[in-house]
Amino acid sequence: MITELLRKPFSRRVFTRMLGALIAGAAVLRVPVGAHAQAVSQKQAVSQTQAASQTQTSSQPLAQRASRHGPVSRIAFGSCVDQDKPQPIWDVVNSAKPDVFVFLGDNIYGDSEDPAVLQSKYEQLGAVPGFQQLRQQTDVVAIWDDHDYGVNDGGLEYPSKEASRQVMLDFFGEPADSERRSRPDGIYTSYVYGEPGNTVQIILLDLRWNRTALHEVADADKRASRLAQDMGPYDASLEPGATMLGEAQWQWFQQQLHVEADLRIIGSSIQLLADFTGWETWANFPADRQRFFNLLHTSPMVPTVIISGDTHWSEFSRIDNSGLPFPLVEMTSSGLTEEWQAISPNRHRIGEAFARANVGMIDIDWSVQPPAVTMQIRDVQGAVLIDRRVEF
């Protein structure tokens, strides 16, 4: 069993089941989303001056204008919800009454090339009363990660991504004419809420559709050493052309960073600021990670925060010496149901990390300029595990 464990890819879920078996052996393993479904197809007007300064590489509008009454002041976010498990976290989310909820991936554990299987699992999620309440009272937006994409740690090579795309977008009420349904390189998107003076832009990146191959550690001793340090099996992808976003999405992202906003929230399905962990993070693609930082430096300086998922633990990461006029921060919220006790090291972590089911919250203070944000992690009892105020 140990030899098999060290030889196979370290899916956290697979690893948990195998470890459980090992221990046991030693002891004797569709519905539109509220008003958002109608609002999401409205296009943002971009001034001629702004548009002239950018290179259009896609017919996708720079951002979708989402309709709400009044400014957005609270955004909730989360990831990693197993449709087969109890989901008490929705009581915490709904009682907080967020204006927007952002799904950051692993929105189901589909893990199938069969779209009928994926649809069935989305239907399970859609039948949960707490989730039904959420979609009735809150704008819900979503990007995927690997398990709702259809395969653990999947990327460019996954053969059923087109079918997965349509099933996911059907479930989340994406309009039939949305470019997310037909764009040849992924389901990335962005939304703009509010009016000048209290405008929030949410950018959601697709880190699956174009992601080139991961590189696994082959040596069993090295894998065992990684495991002992609570680290995963992957090495950095250093070859020319290694990427997560793909060039068209990079060009689109650069355009997004020129959209006028008072606060920018970038949603990444996997961690961006964390040190190299051996699991799936941006650190596996250092050229892409550096390109991300470079784009922030060369784009208009809008207060920006990063939100992420995937890990099955929650933490707050911060880099103060990034060269930006404000700290670069990331709040990881994972999972809505999933927990992973073997928390990886991260020198950018501020405070403690928590392997408890959780949801993330962002409260925006519009009384100051630039706006400040309070970023929290709350558990299934509503207790605040992490509480960080970020000023720009």
Pairing of strands 263-268, 304-308: parallel
The tally of domains found in the chain comes to 1
Under the banding of pLDDT at 50, 70 and 90, the label for residue 46 is very low
End-to-end CA distance of the chain: 51
Indicate whether 5 belongs to any domain: no
| pLDDT band, very low/low/confident/very high, at 54 (cuts 50, 70, 90) | very low
pLDDT band at 19 (very low <50, low <70, confident <90, very high): very low
In DSSP notation, 181-209 reads: GT-TT---EEEEES-TTS-EEEEE---ST
Name 360's bridge partners.
77, 377
Range of the domain at 312: 31-390
Cα–Cα nearest to 332, from 88, 67, 77: 77
- Structure token pair of residue 262: 């008072």
Report how far apart, in Å, the C-alpha atoms of 207 and of each of 101, 252, 281, 369 are: 20, 14, 10, 32
- Do the domain assignments include residue 19? no
Write the pLDDT tens digit of every residue in 82-102: 999 999 999 999 999 999 999
Listed in order, strand segments (DSSP E) in 148-286 are 189-193, 200-204, 215-216, 234-235, 263-268
Name the pLDDT band for 6 (thresholds 50, 70, 90). Answer: very low
Q: How much is the pLDDT for 18?
A: 43
Which pairs count as long-range contacts for 3-12, CB under 8 Å and 24+ apart, including other chains? 3/220, 6/220, 6/223, 6/224, 6/227, 7/220, 7/223, 9/152, 9/153, 9/216, 9/233, 10/223, 10/227, 10/232, 10/233, 10/278, 10/279, 11/152, 11/153, 12/279, 12/312, 12/338, 12/340
Instruction: List pLDDT tens digits, range 322-357.
Output: 889 999 999 999 999 999 999 999 999 999 999 999
The reply to whether 112 falls in a domain is: yes
**Which contiguous run of DSSP H or E holds residue 36?**
helix 36-39
Q: Is pLDDT at 279 greater than 70 in this prediction?
A: yes
Q: How far is CA 119 from the centre of its chain?
A: 21
pLDDT at 68: 61
Q: What average pLDDT does range 282-300 have in this prediction?
A: 97
Return the closest-CA partner of residue 10 out of 384, 312, 346: 312
The domain that holds 60 is classified in CATH as: 3.60.21.70
| Of 338, 357, 324, 247, the residue nearest 291 (C-alpha) | 247
Peptide bond into 335 cis (omega under 30): yes
Confidence of residue 28 (pLDDT cuts 50, 70, 90): very low
State the pairing for strand pair 304-308/328-332.
parallel
Both tokens assigned to 339: 């927990």
Residue 24 within a domain: no
pLDDT at 42 over 50: no
Residue 138, phi then psi, degrees to nearest 5: -140, 145
Average pLDDT over the chain, rounded to an integer: 87
- pLDDT (average), residues 63-82: 85
Average pLDDT over residues 38-54: 33
Does 13 fall in a domain? no
- With 60 as the cut, is the pLDDT of residue 43 above it? no
Residue 53's pLDDT is what?
Answer: 34
Q: Give the pLDDT band of residue 220 (cuts 50, 70, 90).
A: very high
Query: In which band, very low, low, confident or very high, does the pLDDT at 11 lie, cut at 50, 70 and 90?
Result: low
* Average confidence (pLDDT) over 268-279: 96
Name the pLDDT band for 61 (thresholds 50, 70, 90): low
In a domain, 94, yes or no: yes
Tell me if 171 is assigned to some domain. yes
Q: Confidence band (pLDDT; 50, 70, 90) for 2? A: very low
Give a yes or no: residue 139 inside a domain: yes
Short-list 357, 386, 362, 385, CA closest to 88: 357
Position 37 pLDDT exceeds 50: no
Count other Cβ atoms within 10 Å, centred on residue 249.
22
Asked whether residue 10 carries a pLDDT value surpassing 90, the answer given is no
Per-residue pLDDT, averaged over 179-207, amounts to 97
The pLDDT of residue 181: 98
Looking at per-residue confidence, does 45 or 82 come out higher? 82
Nearest to 283, CA basis, from 190, 347, 359: 347
pLDDT at 258: 98
Q: pLDDT class for 273, splitting at 50, 70, 90?
A: very high
pLDDT of 38 > 60? The answer is: no
% pLDDT > 90, the chain: 81
Please state at what angle helix 286-298 crosses helix 247-256, rounded to 10 degrees.
30
